[in-house]
Amino acid sequence: MFELIEDQITKFKKIVFVTGAGISQESGIPTFRGNDGLWRNYDAMKLATIDAFYDNPKLVWEWYNERRRNIFQAKPNSGHIAIAELEKYAEVVVLTQNIDGLHQKSGSSKVLELHGSIVKIKCSVCDYREEILTEITNLPPLCKCGNILRPDVVWFGESLPQDVWQNAMNFASKCDLMIIAGTSLVVSPANTLPIYAKQNNATLIEINPENTTMSGEMNLEIRKTSAESLPKLVSLFKNKL
């Protein structure tokens, strides 16, 4: 599976993972696309917008409460665990589009959440932020200032937190190996991260059962799932280092 890079393993000191919904789907968390993206006959991609929130904040919060319940019950899979284990052999940074916190649960110590976190909420007007690990009642919840609270996530059409994005670009630009796992690379600007790595002559590996828009730019394409592939990569590091 990883034979093409086996002789390069000792050269990979800085590894960056770019992860997406595919790796979380293997833990039972639905994706936005396909049949998984339907909730009570609503298109999830249309619910994850600021316009949908202001049009019907109670509906959007009901959806996020259900997502929170699902995510809180989910456990890291062997793909998440393998990424955390790689920290024994190299400097590993995870740049994730997922909001579920499963990378942190698996033990990864350097995780940049590009699209925020479902456990965090913030005021739609003031600077109030909080982390809540229980179900949110009295929907939509209100801030002390009287305005509506919202999930502290990046919705379609919103900008990424600039400090997080700047750090992500910096890590991508300096890595020796970038592994793109479980993401279709259609969401901007996260889909530009492999370009920064390529400019640094990093080796690019794509792990995805399906082709993506950037498959042709990869040094190695693995058409299997993250849970199946990544433990084998860890074994390779164990044997070589």
The residue behind tokens 């019950």 is: 73
Q: Which residues pair with 18 in a beta bridge?
A: 95, 180
Q: Does 176 carry a binding-site annotation?
A: no
Is 226 labeled as ligand-binding?
A: yes
Beta strands in 159-202 (DSSP E): 177-181
User: Which regions of 60-181 does DSSP assign to beta strands (E)?
Assistant: 91-96, 111-113, 116-123, 129-131, 149-153, 177-181
Whether residue 128 is annotated as binding a ligand: the answer is no
Please check if 22 is assigned to a binding site. Answer: no
Please tell me which residue in 103, 115, 150, 198 is annotated as part of the active site.
Answer: 115
163 is in an annotated binding site: no
Report whether 97 belongs to an annotated binding site. yes
| b (16+ CB within 10 A) / e for 181-218 | bbbbbebeebbebbebbbeeebbbbbbbeeebebeeeb
Under a CB-based contact definition with an 8 Å cutoff, are residues 64 and 151 in contact? yes
User: Is 77 part of any known ligand binding site?
Assistant: no
64 is in an annotated binding site: yes
Nearest one of 195, 227, 21 to 115, comparing CA atoms:
21
Look-up of token digits 């959440």: 113
10 in a labelled binding site: no
Does 183 carry a binding-site annotation?
yes
Neighbours of 94 (CB within 10 A): 27
Residue 192 annotated as binding site: no
Report whether 78 belongs to an annotated binding site: no
- 175 known ligand binder: no
Q: Is 115 a catalytic residue?
A: yes
Cα angle 80-238-8, degrees, rounded to a multiple of 5: 95
Which residue ranges are tagged as binding site for substrate?
A: 64, 67
Which residue ranges are tagged as binding site for NAD(+)?
A: 97-100, 182-184, 208-210, 226
> Hey, which residues are catalytic here?
115
Which residue ranges are tagged as binding site?
A: 64, 67, 97-100, 123, 126, 143, 145, 182-184, 208-210, 226
Which residue ranges are tagged as binding site for Zn(2+)?
A: 123, 126, 143, 145
